[in-house]
Structure 1
Amino acid sequence: MPDGFDTRETWPFECLRCLYVWEENFVVRHLCDAHGNEVDIWLSSGIPVQPPWSGACCPDCGAYHVTWFPAGYLTRHPELVAAPEPEPERVPVPAKVPAQRRAPSAGRLLIALGVPLAAFVGFELYANLVAVARPHP
């Protein structure tokens, strides 16, 4: 049976892409077997994860270009931690008014049909007047 103990560690991180600063809490399980082999298992929320120095991901922008600070660094430098965003002001939403169907506009229909018809009639009249005015050979 392996022999070991657990420690809790808080690691502060900073994203080098968006400059977001955050902390993550880990439980490190230090185990030693009967042969003297030692191993550390990193846990986050009870789930085994990789150590924080390998593959940390920014929770804000998703970048993997992340650096970390020494333990306790953010408690000595609180200006680096972003202030929590204020709660958005809740605006009451007016009750929904049932949508009314617009009656089709008679004017639009007249324009859609009348303009091409007027252009056609005007062209025919012009063509007939030119044909009458010009004598046939």
Structure 2
Amino acid sequence: MRDGFETRESWPFECLRCLFVWEADYVVRHLTDDHGNEVEIWLSSGVTVQPPWSGTDCPACGAYHTTSFPAGYLTRHPELMAPPEPVALADVPVQPVKEISVPLERAAPPRRLLIAVGVPVVLFVGYELYENLLGPTLHH
């Protein structure tokens, strides 16, 4: 290998399973050998890795169903990134939190769903009871 240069690339990804969005940084070594063949070597944290398009797994759930965004997409859409983890400050005094009791209200079940599921179940159970309890006496 005689000619070569390095570039730094940042690839944004999204997991299609858990919808986690993250960005991975790579160093790409572009090399040309004595015969004129061009080679790219992808590095992540100094370790040789496969190119990002050849199968990246999600750091959140481990799934291989991921997609990538165009370069710079996440800088234009920061709302897609997860909020940063809160940093605990040791020098800031912690004030006690006032407890607030809020009555919990139970959400009303969706009525259409109950009707759509309940009516066929009631009809099925009614038919089975009719056939098993009254059916033998009516057929004789």
Say whether the fold is shared (TM-score over 0.5): yes
User: How far apart, CA to CA, are the structure 1 residues paired with 2:4 and 2:84?
Assistant: 38
Residue 3 of structure 2: aligned partner: 3
User: How far apart, CA to CA, are the structure 2 residues paired with 1:2 and 1:46?
Assistant: 21
Q: What do residues 44-86 of structure 1 show as CA deviations (whole Å, max 9, x unaligned)?
A: 0111000000110000000000000000000000000010233
Alpha-carbon deviation of 1:40?
0.3
Where in structure 2 are there 5+ consecutive unaligned residues?
89-140
Residue 17 of structure 2: aligned partner: 17
Aligned length: 91
Alpha-carbon deviation of 1:87?
5.0
Residue 81 of structure 2: aligned partner: 81
1:18-97 to 2 correspondences below 5 Å: 18-86=18-86
Instruction: Give percent identity, aligned residues only.
Output: 76
Runs of 4+ in 1 over 6 A off after TM superposition: none
**Structure of greater Rg:** 1
Q: TM-score, normalised by structure 1?
A: 0.62
Q: What do residues 86-129 of structure 1 show as CA deviations (whole Å, max 9, x unaligned)?
A: 358xxxxxxxxxxxxxxxxxxxxxxxxxxxxxxxxxxxxxxxxx
